[in-house]
Chains A and B, each alone.
Chain A
Amino acid sequence: MTIKTVKDAINDALVQSFEEDKNVILMGEDIAGGKGREQYQGTQDAWGGPFGVTQGLYTKFGGERVRDTTIAEAGFFGAAIGAAMTGLRPIVELMYVDFAGVCFDQMMNQAAKVRYMFGGKQKVPMVVRTVVGAGFRAGSEHSQTLYSLYTHIPGLKVVAPYDAYDAKGLLLSSIKDDDPVIFMEHKRLYMTSCEVPDDLKPIPLGKGRIRREGSDVTIIAIQRMNLFAEEAANELEKININCEIVDPRTYSPLDEELIFHSVKKTGKVIIVDESNPKCSLASEISSLISEKCFSDLKAGVIKITAPHTPVPFSPPMEDFYIPSTKKIIDAVKKLKDV
């Protein structure tokens, strides 16, 4: 048992996958860094992506399998699709999910659809690793989550781990998966850590996790929101309110059974999602609950999300934008009295 950060756990999963399967390759912008300065010592593998997550892979596995690209997402995403169809297992890095727009066609119309529309003869085993999330003072174009953008598309799978344990286990699974997977890494979670067994087995996609058992209120928390849910639950425990925290972990497929089971138990639900509210994971999960568990509900589902605005830059505004522990506590108290 070792304590690992999310960042290191992801790097471990990549290294392990590279070692297990020679068909695994990695492409992205500055996933190594230093291309074109090979003649100078110490320039290679200088970045490992903007957060250093892939550092060391270029040195370990070489430039044939660890490919720095030009700033041409449509080009290398398309290439990942062709490479996946013909036998490789490419992982591509979308530096920030906010750049989804410049290569969305490749994911929405090609990666997601070739299996279906060409008669089920081919598969596209590729993974898009991308960085999401606010709280980095990174402004409107480097801070979104956009979970629901990809979840909406049939043919794609969407994974968003909270802790290092899930990050490693789910990435191992995603790379072995035969369908295209969007693997979302939250920039504010990279340096958080927990125990991760060295021999951790892949965690199947579509299995959520109960992070805390409780009987009074169900809090469904998406990715980083688990942190605030946990803080809120600790506070509320002091006044004898027991919260159950459900972390779905994967959004397509979604572990509906786990969610419904908890809703049946508590009858009171709060969904916490860092995304904008319209057509979000929060609204999707809320709609599923009202459809399937209406008679179990003791109160209307409460959604705690960001407002319907872009992510603002200035700290007071950005902090206001992100759902908070206080908002969760207030919502739970409100439900408790129902």
Chain B
Amino acid sequence: MIEKEKVYWIYKKIFTIRFFEERIKKIAKEKIVPGYLHTCIGSEAICVGVMAALNQDDWISSTYRNHGHAIAKGCELNEITSEIYGRKTGICKGRGGSMHISDFSKGMLGSFGIVAAGPAVVLGAALQEKINKSNKTCVSFFGDGAIHNGAFHEAAGLAKLWDIPMIFVCENNGYAEATATDWHLNTKELSDITKAYDMLSYIGDGNNVFEVYDITKKAISEAKQKNTPIFLEFKNYRFSGQYEGDTQLYQPQEEIDKAKQNDPIKLAKENSSKYGLNENDLEKIINEAKADVDKAFDHADTQPWPQPEDALEEVYVNYPVEINT
């Protein structure tokens, strides 16, 4: 049985992510938000379920679709929102934007815009944990599209060869950009690709936050006990387009309607009493999440822009020549 505090945390996070993404989608329609936006509506249960099994200082990598991971990992909403708006007080000081929301102090190694860049970086963090005989859990998030990329396979091969207990989390959301997963897969199940590495893998319902939590928790424990990487495939549906502004013409309406029956937020609501939350608790959590999101967006609106010359900072830790030449 999950303790009440964790249940509350899970619900608070899952609603916060949904409200956050709905809000940024709406704002992007109303006014200009600089840059690309990749929202994660439909992935909330995976973000929250996995993170519920981690500690604050465990290591993760994320992708350009990172808002949910960042919120679940404990990044400040004000700083995330300010970053998306390009403000000086953003989580990356305005140098990252929506695609690169990441806070190292919260255990985020990075949110990478290059598909499949994350797994090898997390492999390195996990190697460091092993060499230093430390025990932080190391998780790489990536999408189904990443499994065709060589960098993923190279990381998977080395992780297995070196007995590295990292967790590969594949969010199989049905689409790699505008290409359907059932078309791009060469195997029956996505996780069948791990057979080449003799790597343990488990498949879970990515819409059910408690199932995600449960599978992840067990996988972390098994990986550390057996000194082996584990691949988790969570199946869900990407209600958002590849990016905001995507016409989504390739996603048939009947498919979307069907997926809505398993919407992670809908399932979370339906399951709430089973996990000890009554109507009042749920309403309170929803209101708190909405208020937090409102506050963050109001805050971001008031934040200063960076100075143009701030662009020259922090390229290097130490560089003896002027950077502007």
Contact = CB atoms under 8 A, between A and B. Distances in A.
B124 A81 contact: yes
B158 A72 contact: yes
Contact of B121 (A69, A82, A88): A82
B154 A72 contact: yes
A138 interface: no
Q: For A65, A78, A109, A256, which residue has the most chain B Cβ atoms within 10 angstroms?
A: A78
A154 B315 contact: yes
Contacts of A194: none
A78 B155 contact: yes
B131 A79 contact: no
Contacts of A253: 319-321
Chain B interface mostly helix, strand, loop or mixed?
A: mixed
A118 B100 contact: yes
Nearest to A253: B321
A51 B191 CA distance: 40
B142 interface: no
Contacts of A105: 114, 117, 151
Given A121-B104, A179-B318, A206-B320, A82 B125 contact: yes
B127 A119 contact: no
A121 B127 CA distance: 21
A83 B315 contact: no
B157 A84 contact: no
A70 interface: yes
Given A75-B151, A83-B124, A86-B128, A115 B314 contact: yes
A136 interface: no
A157 interface: yes
Interface residues of B, number: 54
A127 interface: no
Nearest to A75: B154
Contact of A90 (B93, B124, B162): B124
Interface string B210-226: 00000000000000000
Interface string A106-136: 1001100011111111110000000000000
Contacts of A86: 59, 109, 124-125, 128-129
Given A77-B120, A106-B117, A110-B121, A69 B93 contact: no
B122 interface: yes
B316 A115 contact: yes
Q: For A118, A123, A178, A255, which residue has the most chain B Cβ atoms within 10 angstroms?
A: A118
Contacts of A109: 112-114, 117
Q: For B95, B108, B124, B125, which residue has the most chain A Cβ atoms within 10 angstroms?
A: B124
A254 interface: yes
A178 B313 contact: no
A254 B100 CA distance: 30
B47 interface: no
A296 interface: no
Interface string A19-62: 00000010000000000000000000000000000000000000
Nearest to A71: B154
Given A75-B158, A119-B95, A25 B131 contact: yes
Interface in B295-325: 313-321, 323, 325
B100 A117 contact: yes
A284 to B, nearest CB: 11
Contact of A117 (B92, B129, B157, B320): B92
Interface in B92-124: 92-93, 95-96, 100, 102-105, 108-114, 117, 119-124
B155 A75 contact: yes
B248 to A, nearest CB: 28
A117 B96 contact: yes
A52 B126 CA distance: 29
Given A82-B120, A85-B109, A116 B315 contact: yes
12 contacts: A25-B131, A65-B131, A70-B161, A75-B157, A82-B120, A83-B127, A85-B121, A87-B132, A88-B132, A109-B114, A120-B313, A154-B315
